[in-house]
């Protein structure tokens, strides 16, 4: 007998129908309210990544360190000059310049360079090691491991591709000896083959690549590209042009150019070549009558302005030797250094006579301590030098 016998059962069909209705209602999608036509939907903002700050190349550097970077001091290729070695070890100068002529082998030159790089010490900016390896009469290193390089006039007979390949070989030979900067190629336009002999610094020595802007830019540009290919930074010289003067600034005073203009073909060579890759630009010490009369280019803010503003170059500017050139001999070593920095020169070349370096260094440092505008130029110069060094392989 069932325990539910005699108890009346509820209405099951009705309860089940009600439950099913409720279940279907719960599963039905909720109506989405309509968006009024006037409403504005604000998109989720996109997060912009925070840019990584560019490191300050001068961070942690003293004034002495910054001034040191602004000097490239010479040493004989036959042995380490004591003044230059001390300048590397104590003042952390930006570079050294191997001057003279040597028939020593690659290993010997590398050993000489090694004395300076060891003196520079670890944790310091790289020490630039420079020389003059143009070819022809201007070739410092010519011993075993260094090819004999033809003059620029002869180099220009090669196709651009051949010359670039040749220069890459010469560059590799320099790099194997520890040289990182070549003060070449010459980018000067000599007026004509007939007048070359009357241009002592360039034409008389067959240092020109040609007699018009297009040829010089192509051939000197090929040489510069080859230098970069081999791991050596080229230097274009002698801005704004030294191919029209009739005296040599190394041995004469009052050397004046009366041809070069701020927007002429001599300047155009640099505009073309500097668009092709990194390089240092060297100023001459001649006067330029049509740009800044009576002022050596290395001391002329107007000449530097043509390079910076006219050509648009913001790299390292150096200058021809300030230590022994007769053209600047009327100025004291201290004045040569401060005038060059005031004009906008970044790297002061003290190649032939390193004994004047301490006076030049002291003058730049002293002026920077008392003249904020001058100190700003020191900062800008050191920044350009360190930035260029950091970008090299």
> Which 3 state secondary structure label does DSSP give 159?
coil
**pLDDT value of position 55:** 79
Of 23-32, 87-96, 283-292, where does mean pLDDT reach its minimum? Answer: 23-32
Averaged pLDDT for residues 10-18: 35
Tabulate helix, strand, coil % of the chain (nearest 5): 45, 15, 45
Q: What percent of the chain has pLDDT over 90?
A: 84
The CA distances from residue 70 to 115, 128, 377, in Å, are 21, 11, 11
303 in Cβ contact with 239 (< 8 Å): yes
Averaged pLDDT for residues 90-113: 98
**DSSP per-residue string spanning 243-278:** SS-SS-TTT-SS-EESS--TTSHHHHHHHHHTTSS-
pLDDT at 44 over 80: no
**pLDDT value of position 244:** 98
How would residue 51 be classed by pLDDT, with cut points 50, 70 and 90?
Answer: low
Q: Classify burial at 371, counting beta carbons within 10 Å of its beta carbon; exposed 0-12, middle 13-18, buried 19 or more.
A: middle
Q: Is the peptide bond before 183 cis (omega within 30 degrees of 0)?
A: no
Nearest Cα neighbor of 284 from 272, 265, 268, 266 is 266
pLDDT one-digit tens code per residue, 156-209: 999 999 999 999 999 999 999 999 999 999 999 999 999 999 999 999 999 999
pLDDT one-digit tens code per residue, 232-241: 999 999 999 9
pLDDT one-digit tens code per residue, 138-149: 999 999 999 999
Q: Containing H/E element for 56?
A: none
**pLDDT value of position 53:** 64
pLDDT at 74 over 50: yes
**pLDDT value of position 52:** 58
Q: How far apart are CA 330 and CA 75, in angstroms?
A: 24
Nearest Cα neighbor of 249 from 296, 205, 282 is 296
**pLDDT value of position 41:** 44
**Crossing angle of the two packed helices 106-120 and 82-91, in degrees rounded to 10:** 40
Q: How far apart are CA 75 and CA 96, in angstroms?
A: 7
Q: How far apart are CA 98 and CA 131, in angstroms?
A: 5
pLDDT at 130 over 70: yes
How would residue 358 be classed by pLDDT, with cut points 50, 70 and 90?
Answer: very high
Q: Which of the two residues, 43 and 111, has the higher pLDDT score?
A: 111
pLDDT one-digit tens code per residue, 248-306: 999 999 999 999 999 999 999 999 999 999 999 999 999 999 999 999 999 999 999 99
Q: Containing H/E element for 319?
A: strand 317-319
**pLDDT value of position 24:** 35
How would residue 49 be classed by pLDDT, with cut points 50, 70 and 90?
Answer: low
pLDDT at 14 over 70: no
pLDDT at 29 over 70: no
Residues with Cβ within 8 Å of 15's Cβ and at least 6 positions away in sequence, in order, are none
Q: May I ask the CATH architecture of the domain 63-391?
A: Alpha-Beta Barrel (3.20)
């Amino acid at each position: 007998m069932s325990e539910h016998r005699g108890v009346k059962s509820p209405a099951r069909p009705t309860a089940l129908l009600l439950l099913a209705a409720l279940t279907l209602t719960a599963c039905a999608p909720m109506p989405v309210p309509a968006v009024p036509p006037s409403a504005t939907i604000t998109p989720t903002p996109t997060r912009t990544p925070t840019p990584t700050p560019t490191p300050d190349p001068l961070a942690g550097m003293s004034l002495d360190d910054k001034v040191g970077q602004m000097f490239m001091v010479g040493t004989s290729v036959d042995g380490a000059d004591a003044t230059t070695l001390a300048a590397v070890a104590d003042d952390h100068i930006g570079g050294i310049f191997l001057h003279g002529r040597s028939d020593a082998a690659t290993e010997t030159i590398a050993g000489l360079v090694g004395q300076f790089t060891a003196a520079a010490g670890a944790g310091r900016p790289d020490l630039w090691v420079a020389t003059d390896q143009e070819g022809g009469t201007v070739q410092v290193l010519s011993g075993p491991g260094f090819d004999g390089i033809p003059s620029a006039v002869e180099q220009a007979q090669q196709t651009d591709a051949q010359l670039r390949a040749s220069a890459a070989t010469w560059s590799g030979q320099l790099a194997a000896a520890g040289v990182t900067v070549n003060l070449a190629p010459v980018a000067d336009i000599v007026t004509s083959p007939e007048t070359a002999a009357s241009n002592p610094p360039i034409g008389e020595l067959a240092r020109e690549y040609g007699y018009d802007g297009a040829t010089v830019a192509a051939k000197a540009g090929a040489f510069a590209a080859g230098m970069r290919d081999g791991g050596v930074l080229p230097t274009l010289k002698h801005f704004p042009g030294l191919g029209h003067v009739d005296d040599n600034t190394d041995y004469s005073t009052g050397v004046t150019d009366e041809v070069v203009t701020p927007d002429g073909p001599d300047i155009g060579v640099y505009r073309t070549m500097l668009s092709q890759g990194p390089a240092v630009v060297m100023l001459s010490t001649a006067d330029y009558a049509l740009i800044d009369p009576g002022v050596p280019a290395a001391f002329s803010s107007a000449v530097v302005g043509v390079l910076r503003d006219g050509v648009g170059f913001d790299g390292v500017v150096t200058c021809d030797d300030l230590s022994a050139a007769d053209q600047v001999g009327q100025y004291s070593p201290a004045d040569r250094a401060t005038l060059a920095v005031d004009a906008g020169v970044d790297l002061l070349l003290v190649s032939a006579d390193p004994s004047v370096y301490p006076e030049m260094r002291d003058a730049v440092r002293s002026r920077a301590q008392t003249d904020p505008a001058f100190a700003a130029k020191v900062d800008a110069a050191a920044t350009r030098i360190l930035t260029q060094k950091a970008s090299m392989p």
